[in-house]
Chain A
Amino acid sequence: DAKTTQPPSMDCAEGRAANLPCNHSTISGNEYVYWYRQIHSQGPQYIIHGLKNNETNEMASLIITEDRKSSTLILPHATLRDTAVYYCIVRAADNFNKFYFGSGTKLNVKP
């Protein structure tokens, strides 16, 4: 499975867009990019995933570069409740054994 690299922490002002980057330069053609977040000590929460097209849902948007070597999770209007650790995970859809979480990015949303 491809490894991912994320900054350890980021700050964002409340109401502004939060853009969280993820590098996955060794990603394979059949591997998806997944994003989860973990608020305080709760169980991780699914946000979004994609293969090569950009994706949007009610929580966020996922932008994947054309070469698929990096992606950005966008929270369009961050709130204080979005303060969490955000995990970028790359794995093949049929390879659940390799559903590895790295250290993630701690997003601090500030008033």
Chain B
Amino acid sequence: NAGVTQTPKFRILKIGQSMTLQCAQDMNHNYMYWYRQDPGMGLKLIYYSVGAGITDKGEVPNGYNVSRSTTEDFPLRLELAAPSQTSVYFCASTKLIGTEAFFGQGTRLTVV
């Protein structure tokens, strides 16, 4: 099992550009999450999904969109990138609601 795989690892965007951060898991987990982590801070939940076709907002959803067409994939879309979205983005998944979360290695995004 590869676990949770995120691509790309690094990306520089110009203000106003758009991009999609990819996240895939091969553990057949129903629950998937997107977090962002600003320098020196903890993680903040952006969006989460309880299964294919079902998504919901977390703590900081503004400026982002998600979709969940399959169990394996949970892409995060940034529309009209802003400097405030410069951060490290982590994707995670859990098999059941209360069980341990598996995290990807992160995508470091810089918006200039």
Contact = CB atoms under 8 A, between A and B. Distances in A.
A103 B42 contact: yes
A43 B105 contact: yes
A45 B35 CA distance: 14
A101 to B, nearest CB: 4
Task: Report the interface size class on chain B.
Answer: 20 to 34
B74 interface: no
A45 B100 CA distance: 9
Nearest to A45: B103
B43 A101 contact: yes
A49 B31 CA distance: 18
A15 B98 CA distance: 32
B56 interface: yes
Contact of B4 (A32, A43, A93, A95): A43
A43 B90 contact: yes
A46 B90 CA distance: 14
A44 B43 contact: yes
A102 B45 CA distance: 11
A94 B98 contact: yes
Determine chain A's interface SS by DSSP, over half rule. Answer: loop
Contact of A32 (B45, B48, B98, B104): B98
Interface in B90-112: 90, 92, 94, 97-98, 100-106, 108
B8 to A, nearest CB: 15
B42 to A, nearest CB: 4
Interface in B38-52: 40-45, 48, 50
A93 B41 CA distance: 24
Contact of B98 (A93, A97, A102, A104): A93
Interface of A: 32, 36, 41-46, 49, 87, 93-97, 99-104
Interface of B: 4, 31, 33, 35, 40-45, 48, 50, 56, 58-59, 88, 90, 92, 94, 97-98, 100-106, 108
User: Closest 9 CB pairs between A and B?
Assistant: A93-B98, A43-B103, A46-B100, A101-B42, A101-B43, A102-B42, A44-B103, A103-B42, A94-B97
